[in-house]
A and B are shown apart, each in its own frame.
Chain A
Amino acid sequence: MSQASDGSRSLHLSQVTKEFAAFTAVKSIDLEVPHGSFFALLGPSGCGKTTTLRMVAGLETPTSGSIRIGDTDITYAKPYQRPVNTVFQSYALFPHLDIYENVAFGLRRRRSPEVDRQVKEMLELVELTSQARKKPPQLSGGQQQRVALARALINRPDVLLLDEPLGALDLKLRRAMQLELKRIQTEVGLTFIHVTHDQEEAMTMADTIAVMNAGEIEQMGAPNDLYENPKTTFVANFLGQSNLIAGKVLGPDGDFVKVDMHGVTVSIPVSRAHAAGADGWIGIRPEKVLIAAVGEEIDAPGNHLDGGIVTDVSFVGVSTQYLVRMPWGQELQVFEQNTGRRRLFAKGETVDLSWRPEYAFLLDASQDVTAGIEDD
C-alpha cells in the first residue's frame, strides 16, 4: 500500500512532442520517474533537455502528448498550479530582492505559515545564513547557484527540476555540490530531475539515467546497466568509450550469439545482442579488453584475438592506455589497470587480445559508428 502512495506522486510523460515552427525539439518521448528518485536527463547540447523540463514546469506547452503527476493530468496546467519547481540554467534570481526574500518567495505566494523559520532552516542547509541580506548580484556564482537551489527546494515540490545547475561552477566546487545535492535529495526524499551533459555527473548522482539524442530518448536505465549494456552506438560512445568492431551474425548458440569478426568467431550473450539484421557492431569497453604477450596465457576464457601491434602507449598512473592495431587495420583501445602483475608493453610489440564473452555487446550495423563521440 505504501507503494501506492508513492506511485501516486510519480511523474509520467507519454508521447510528449514539442514542435517549434518547422523544428521538432522533442519527439514523442515516454518517461516514467518514480517518486523520490534521482533521475538524470543526459544528452549533448541542443538535444531537447531544457525543452523537456520546461514542459514539465509548464513554461512550454507540448504540441501533443500528456504529462501526469500521479493521476493528475498537468499537461495544460499553469506553472503556478503545479507541484513542480525549477532551478534555472541561468539561476534567474530576482535582482531586486535580497537572498532571504528570494528564498521566501514561493512560501509567501502560497501564504505558507512559519515563513521565517523555514527560510532560516533552508539558508542554514545551503550555508548562506550570513548572506541573507545581500542582493543576488553581490554573491559569487556558486553562492547564487545555492540560492537558486534553496529557493526551489524550500517549497518541497513533488518534482524538482534542475537544469544544469552545476554548469557554471569550477570542477572542485562542482564535485562538492554534486555530493551536496545528492545528500539533500536523500534527506528530503523528493524527486529530482537533473539535466546535464556531463556523463560522469549523471552516473555518480542518478538512480536512473535517460540518454537523449536529437529529441528522442535513446535508452533509459540504471547507470551501470546503461554503461554495461548500451543498446545503441550513441549510448555506447556518449557514456564512456567503446571499441566498435564490424561483424557478421552467424546465428544463435544457446544463451549466446555467434558473430564472425574478421575471421574470428566471437560469442555475445543473447541479452546483450541488439542487432536486428545480419550485420552488427561488436562492442567492448576498453577496460574489459585484456592484453598479453604472444602465446602467453590470458585468464579469460573466450573471445581471443591475435596479431595485434601496439601503436601507442600512454601511462596515466592508475592505468595504462594502449592503442592496438588489429590485422584488419582497426585500432582498438585497451585500458589496463596498473596492478603490477603484468609488465608494460612497448610500442611496436606484437600482442594478443582477449575479453570475456559476457562483457561484449552487439549493436545494429545500420547505426552510425561515430554517433555520440564528443569531439573535444
Chain B
Amino acid sequence: MSPIARTWRWIREHVVLALGLLVLTYMFVPIAVVVLMSFNDPGKSKNVYTFRHFTLHNWMHPCAPAGMCHSVGLSLGIGLLATIIATIIGTMAAFGMVRHEFAGRSLANTVIFLPMASPEIVMGSSLLALFVSTQVALGFVTILIAHVMFCLSFVVVTVKARLTGLDDNLEQAAMDLYANETETFWRVTFPLVLPGILGAALLSFSLSFDDYIITNLNAGQSTTFPMFVWGAAQRGVPMQVNVIGTVMFLIAITLVLGNELNNRRQARALATR
C-alpha cells in the first residue's frame, strides 16, 4: 500500500473522531475559561478579562462582591419555586390533555406552544403592562409568576411526549392485577412518566435561573443573578461570578455522571448475577 493511500485511510478512519473532538472543544472552551478565571487575581488592573495571577481568594471569599450572593439566593429561590409550581401544574395539564377527551383539546395543544414560540421581550413587556395596570407591586412575586408562566409550556410539552409514548396496556395490566385506579397511577403510570417529569423540572430550573429579559422587565427593585452579572459587566465582572458559574457546572456534571455511574453499576450487577 502506498504511503498516500495509507494516510488517506488513516484520515478516513479517524475523521469522525476528530470532528467529534473539535465540536466538544468548541462547546467546552467557554466553560474552561470560566473555571480558569475563577482562580484569577486581576490585582488592581481594570482589565478583568486577562489572567494575571493564580489565587484561591475568589473561592475563599465568594460573597465578597456586594449584593452578589443575595442575587444568587434570590435566583435559586425563584428557580426552585418556579420549577416546583410549573412542574406540578404542567404535569397535571399534560395528563388532562392526553387522557381526557374535551371540547377544544386540539386547540389547547396548539395554544400551549405559543409561550415557547413568542419572543421573550414581547412576553416580558406584556406581563409588565398587566402588572402595572392591575397595580401588582413588582418584585419576588411578579418574577415568580413570570417564570412559572414560561416554564409551563416546556413542562407540558415534555411530559406529554412521555405520556403519549406510554403503552395503554400497562395500565390495563395493572388493573387486571388488582390495582385500583389510585394504585395503578402511583405504581405504574407515575414511575413510567417520572423521567419525563424530572427532565421537565431540570429544564424549568435552568430556564428560570438563566432568564434575563422577562425578569428584568418585571423585577422592580429585586436583583436576580443574571441581572447582577449584567449590571456588573458595565464596570468589570467580579471574579466570583466565575466561581458561581463553576459551581453550577460542577453540580450539573455531577448529576449527569452520577446517573451514568448508577446505570452502569446496575448493568454490571445484572451481568455478574
Contacts and interface: CB of A to CB of B under 8 A. Distances in A.
Nearest to B184: A80
Contacts of A78: 175, 180
Contact of B177 (A96, A130, A134, A151): A151
Nearest to A111: B178
Contact of A59 (B176, B177, B178, B270): B176
Contact of A85 (B176, B179, B183): B176
A133 interface: yes
A92 B166 CA distance: 11
Interface stretch (A102-110, A217-225, A337-345, A359-367): A102-110
A53 to B, nearest CB: 11
A133 B188 contact: no
Chain B interface mostly helix, strand, loop or mixed?
helix
B170 A94 contact: yes
Nearest to B179: A109
A88 B169 contact: yes
Contacts, number: 62
Contacts of B187: 105
Given A92-B167, A92-B172, A94-B188, A85 B177 contact: yes
Given A94-B188, A133-B270, A134-B270, A59 B172 contact: yes
Interface in A89-116: 90, 92-96, 105-106, 109-110
B191 interface: yes
B175 A59 contact: yes
Given A80-B180, A134-B270, A88 B191 contact: no
Contacts of A85: 176-177
B176 A79 contact: yes
A204 to B, nearest CB: 27
B273 interface: yes
Contacts of B172: 59, 79, 88, 92
Nearest to A110: B178
Contacts of A92: 167, 169-170, 172-173
B85 interface: no
Given A92-B167, A133-B273, A138-B270, A109 B177 contact: yes
A110 B174 CA distance: 12
Interface residues of B, number: 19
B264 to A, nearest CB: 15
A94 B166 CA distance: 11
Interface centre among B169, B173, B183, B191 (most CB of A within 10 A): B173
Contacts of B169: 88, 90, 92
Given A88-B169, A92-B167, A80 B176 contact: yes
Nearest to A138: B270
Interface in B52-110: none
A57 interface: yes
B99 to A, nearest CB: 16
A264 B175 CA distance: 61
Contacts of B167: 90, 92
Contacts of B176: 57-59, 79-80, 84-86, 152
Contacts of B177: 80, 85, 105-106, 109, 151-152, 155
Interface centre among A78, A79, A151 (most CB of B within 10 A): A79
Nearest to A82: B176
B198 to A, nearest CB: 14
A163 to B, nearest CB: 10
Contacts of A59: 172, 175-176
B192 interface: yes
B175 A80 contact: yes
Interface in B126-182: 167, 169-170, 172-180
A168 to B, nearest CB: 14
Nearest to A132: B273
A152 B172 CA distance: 13
B175 A94 contact: no
A109 B174 CA distance: 9
B32 to A, nearest CB: 38
Contact of B192 (A57, A96, A133, A152): A96
Given A95-B192, A96-B191, A109 B173 contact: no
Contacts of B174: 94, 105
A94 B177 CA distance: 12
A155 B178 contact: yes
Contacts of A96: 191-192
Contacts of B180: 78, 80
A90 B172 CA distance: 12
Contacts of A134: 270
A86 B173 contact: yes
Interface in A125-173: 130, 133-134, 138, 151-152, 155
Ordered nearest first, which 7 A-B pairs have the shortest CB separation? Answer: A92-B169, A106-B177, A109-B178, A92-B173, A79-B175, A80-B178, A86-B176
6 contacts: A79-B175, A92-B170, A94-B170, A106-B178, A109-B183, A138-B270
Given A92-B173, A94-B173, A155-B177, 11 more contacts: A57-B176, A58-B176, A59-B172, A79-B172, A79-B175, A84-B176, A92-B169, A94-B188, A109-B177, A109-B179, A133-B273
